[in-house]
Structures are given as C-alpha cells and as structure tokens.
C-alpha cells in the first residue's frame, strides 16, 4: 500500500468550537448593539455599517451551530 495517507481534518480544531462560538457571538452581539444604538441616536448615517456586519454575527452563529452538533 502507499505510505499512510494524510488525514483531512477541519481547518479549525474541533476542540476550539465552543470557545470560538462564545467569543464570536459576544463580539457579534456587541457590534449589533452598537449598530442599533447608533441608529437610534444619530440623525446622519455613516458607511461604517458594512464592515462590522459581515464578520460579527455570521461566524459566531456558524461556530454555535457546529459546537451544538449540527455539522453543516
């Protein structure tokens, strides 16, 4: 047989899933909160919305799903 094949693992170690889920969701919630506060208080809009939105909630919810056992 060929030399032992290299095993494929997830790009992020599984042991980190719950920790990453908690941290990223925390960051996402903070950004969401600041976004809504910003919306509610100022009358002129900025373009800083776009940057924060793509990272905060998305990755956090992915790691939440993975740590709960729903391997998507």
Partner 1 sequence: MEARIRARVNLALTFFALLFFVAGSSPPRQFVISNAERRIDLSSHIINVHLTLKVENAGTRSASEVVLALTPTEVDHLAMVDASAIKGKRKKTTSVRLEVKPTELPDAPPIDTKYFTIYLANPLNSGESTTLEVLYVFTHFLEPFPAEIAQSESQLVFYHDTALILSPYHIKQQTTFIKTPSTKVESFIRMEPTNRVGTEIKYGPYEDRPPYSISPIHVHFENNSPFAVVEELVQEIEISHWGNIQVTEHYKLIHAGARHKGVFSRVDYQSRQSSNGASSFRYLLARLPPRVHSVYYRDEIGNISSSHLRTDSLKSELQIEPRYPLFGGWKATFVIGYGLPLQDFLFESSDDKRYLNFTFGCPLIGMVVDKLTIKVVLPEGSTDPSPVVPFPVEHHLEAKYSSLDVVGRTVVVLEKKNFVPMHNSHFQVYYSFKPIFMLAEPLMLASAFFMLFVACVAYIHIDLSIRK
The residue ranges that bind partner 1 (CB under 8 A) are 2, 5-12, 14, 28, 32, 35-36, 39, 45, 49, 53-59, 61-62, 66, 69-72
Query: How far apart are CB 30 and partner 1 at their closest, in Å?
Result: 14
As given in the structure block, the two tokens for residue 32 are 């969401």
Q: Which is nearer to partner 1, 22 or 57 (CB)?
A: 57
Q: Which is nearer to partner 1, 23 or 35 (CB)?
A: 35
User: What residues have CB less than 8 Å from 57, skipping those under 6 apart?
Assistant: 25, 28, 31, 32
Distance, in Å, from the CA atom of 36 to the CA atom of 60, rounded to the nearest integer, reads 19
Asked if residue 44 lies in contact with residue 51, where contact means CB atoms within 8 angstroms, the answer is no
Query: How far apart are CB 14 and partner 1 at their closest, in Å?
Result: 4
């Amino acid at each position: 047989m060929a030399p032992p094949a290299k095993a494929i693992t997830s790009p992020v170690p599984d042991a980190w899933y719950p920790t990453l889920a908690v941290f990223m969701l925390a960051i996402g919630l903070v950004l969401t909160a600041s976004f809504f506060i910003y919306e509610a208080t100022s009358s002129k809009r900025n373009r800083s919305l776009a940057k924060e939105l793509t990272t905060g909630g998305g990755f956090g919810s992915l790691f939440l799903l993975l740590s709960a056992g729903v391997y998507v």
